């Protein structure tokens, strides 16, 4: 221990040291409890699409409700959403996260939605310690953005399971996100349900609400990425800028695609993909989702 850290601990006195010991003890106890898990929870990438899916009864929302009924009950949920981009990587650590309405131009009932699930500061610390290569910061301000709550409110409507979010570091290359996921994959064995939320194909500039089947290029991009997922070609998926022209059109910006890389990084080699909600809507949005485990 360096001299500054030693002096800092000394200045705390016995009361401060007791508090630190108590915190470490609680974290160790949580880690021990989670380590008793005798099964590995699935990991999901979910195409979330329009925020209206939160309040509409449609193919996608019904699918999420059915998925929630079939999933083992997690001890916590960790969501990697396209809608929380930061400089650096952070995990939410608030005990009572807010429901964030990060959109505009939608009807009032959507803004009235609240998803009052608790956070879990101790779990946030555990997630922070799972990564050795990446320094994960604790964030006490962010809550649940619509990439998170619009899906989870259907899967777990009782809002009793602690939910945390992991941010996307916009300054990092795709390989960074995939490598971080590899470090965090052990959370699946500790009762944590990992949920990536974005869209495999997401081009808002070319959106056409009258096109219910999808443009040919969007369908081709979706199929290309599905085939690579099925083949387990994570290298090509991480280097997506080298994929076809159609794929480039489908991924004009990375934020809705990157959550997929977290899910791919957390799957086991023997786990086959189970695709669901495999549809392209509004011309240029793929709702295609995939489950491993």
| DSSP string computed for 238-262 | HTGGGS-HHHHHH-SSSTTTHHHHH
Integer Cα distance of 66 and 53 in angstroms: 15
pTM of the entire predicted model? 0.88
Integer Cα distance of 84 and 79 in angstroms: 10
Closest C-alpha among 164, 180, 193, 214 to residue 46? 193
Cα torsion 56, 158, 127, 93: sign: positive
Please state the φ and ψ torsions of residue 193, each to the nearest 5 degrees: -85, 120
Which residues are CB-neighbours of 255 under 8 A, at least 6 positions away? Answer: 82, 83, 85, 168, 170, 198
pLDDT, position 19: 55
Domains in the chain, CATH or no CATH each: 33-292 (3.40.830.10)
The tokens of 22 are what? 């108590």
The DSSP secondary-structure symbol of 73 reads P
Integer Cα distance of 69 and 87 in angstroms: 36
The DSSP secondary-structure symbol of 94 reads -
Closest C-alpha among 169, 129, 117 to residue 26? 129
The tokens of 21 are what? 């010991």
How far, rounded to the nearest angstrom, does the alpha carbon of residue 183 sit from its chain's CA centroid?
15
CA angle, residues 170, 156, 251, in degrees to nearest 5 = 30
pLDDT, position 176: 98
How far, rounded to the nearest angstrom, does the alpha carbon of residue 112 sit from its chain's CA centroid?
23
Integer Cα distance of 166 and 92 in angstroms: 7
Residues linked to residue 195 through DSSP beta bridges, in sequence order = 44, 79
Integer Cα distance of 87 and 179 in angstroms: 17
The DSSP secondary-structure symbol of 105 reads S
Closest C-alpha among 158, 72, 77 to residue 115? 158
pLDDT, position 212: 86
- Residues of the chain falling short of pLDDT 50: 1-18
């Amino acid at each position: 221990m360096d001299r500054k850290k030693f002096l800092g601990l000394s200045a705390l006195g016995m009361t401060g040291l007791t508090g630190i010991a108590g915190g470490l003890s609680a974290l160790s106890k949580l880690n021990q409890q989670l380590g008793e898990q005798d099964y590995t929870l699935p990991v999901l990438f979910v195409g979330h699409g329009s925020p209206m899916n939160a309040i509409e009864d449609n193919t996608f929302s019904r699918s999420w409700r059915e998925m929630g009924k079939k999933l083992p009950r997690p001890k916590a949920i960790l969501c990697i959403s396209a809608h929380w981009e930061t400089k650096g990587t952070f995990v939410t650590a608030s005990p009572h996260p807010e429901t964030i309405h990060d959109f505009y131009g939608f009807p009032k009932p959507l803004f009235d939605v609240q998803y009052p699930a608790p956070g879990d500061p101790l779990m946030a610390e555990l997630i922070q310690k799972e990564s050795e290569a990446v320094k994960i910061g604790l964030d006490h301000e962010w809550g649940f953005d619509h990439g998170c709550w619009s899906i989870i409110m259907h899967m777990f409507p009782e809002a009793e399971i602690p939910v945390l979010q992991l941010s996307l570091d916009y300054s990092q290359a795709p390989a960074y996100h995939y490598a971080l996921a590899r470090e965090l994959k052990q959370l699946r064995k500790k009762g944590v349900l990992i949920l990536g939320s974005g869209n495999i194909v997401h081009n808002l500039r070319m959106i056409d609400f009258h096109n219910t089947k999808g443009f040919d290029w969007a369908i081709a991009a979706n199929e290309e990425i599905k085939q690579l997922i099925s083949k387990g070609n994570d290298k090509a998926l991480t280097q997506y800028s080298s994929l076809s022209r159609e794929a480039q059109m489908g991924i004009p910006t990375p934020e809705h695609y990157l959550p997929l890389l977290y899910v791919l990084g957390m799957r086991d080699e023997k786990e086959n993909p189970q695709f669901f909600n495999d549809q392209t809507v509004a011309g240029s949005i793929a709702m295609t989702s995939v489950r491993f485990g």
